[in-house]
Amino acid sequence: MTGGAPRRVWGLVYRHLALYRRSWPRLLELMYWPVLQMLVWGFVTSYIGGNIGAAGGAAGALGVAAGVLLGGVLLWEVSLRSQMGFSISFLEEVWSRNLGHIFVSPLRPRELVAGLACMSVVRVVVGVLPAVGLAYVLYRFGLFSMGPVVVAFIAALLLMGWAVALGVVSLILRYGAGAEALAWSILMGITPIAAVFYPVAVLPSWLQPVSLALPAAHVFEGMRAALLDGRVAWDHLAWAFALDAFWLAAMAWVFLSQFRAARVKGALLNIGE
Partner 1 sequence: MPSPAILVEALSKRYRNDAPPAVSDLSFSMPRGATWGLLGGNGAGKTTTIAMLLGLLVPTSGRVEALGHDMARDRFAALARMNFSSPYLALPSRLSVAENLRVYAHLYNVPRAEKRIAELAEQLQLTDLLDRPSGQLSAGQKTRVALAKALVNRPELLLLDEPTASLDPDTGDWVRTWLERYRAESGCSILLASHNMAEVERLCGHVLMLKQGRAVDQGSPAALLQRYGRDDLEDVFLDIARGRRSREEAAVLA
Of 12-20, 40-48, 124-132, 180-188, which part binds partner 1 (CB under 8 A)?
Answer: 12-20
Of 98-106, 117-125, 193-201, 247-255, which part binds partner 1 (CB under 8 A)?
Answer: 98-106
Nearer to partner 1, 231 or 263 (CB): 263
29 in contact with partner 1 (CB under 8 A): no
Distance between CA 181 and CA 244 in Å, rounded?
24
Least Cβ distance, residue 170 to partner 1 (angstroms): 17
105 in contact with partner 1 (CB under 8 A): yes
- The greatest distance separating any two alpha carbons of the chain, rounded to the nearest whole angstrom, comes to 68
Of 10-18, 139-147, 178-186, 215-223, which part binds partner 1 (CB under 8 A)?
Answer: 10-18
201 in contact with partner 1 (CB under 8 A): no
CB-side exposure of 68: number of CA atoms within 13 Å? 22
Q: Does residue 65 contact residue 48 with C-beta atoms inside 8 Å? A: yes
Least Cβ distance, residue 93 to partner 1 (angstroms): 8
25 in contact with partner 1 (CB under 8 A): no
Least Cβ distance, residue 131 to partner 1 (angstroms): 26
Which of 40, 59, 98, 133: binder of partner 1 (CB under 8 A)? 98
> Three-state SS string across 193-223, please?
HCCCCCCHHHCCCCCHHHHHCCHHHHHHHHH
**Cα→Cα distances 203→68, 153, 198, 199, 237, Å:** 18, 22, 9, 8, 20
End-to-end CA distance of the chain: 32
Identify the helix (H) or strand (E) that includes residue 58: none
Single-letter amino acid code for the residue at 90: F
The footprint of partner 1 on residues 136-155 (CB under 8 A) is none
Distance between CA 152 and CA 238 in Å, rounded?
10
Nearer to partner 1, 88 or 164 (CB): 88
Nearer to partner 1, 15 or 174 (CB): 15
Fill in the DSSP letter of residue 105.
Answer: S
* Number of residues assigned to the chain: 273
Which of 28, 54, 55, 104: binder of partner 1 (CB under 8 A)? 104
Residues that bind partner 1 (CB under 8 A): 4, 7-8, 10-12, 14-15, 18-19, 22-23, 92, 96-98, 100-108, 260, 263-266, 268-269
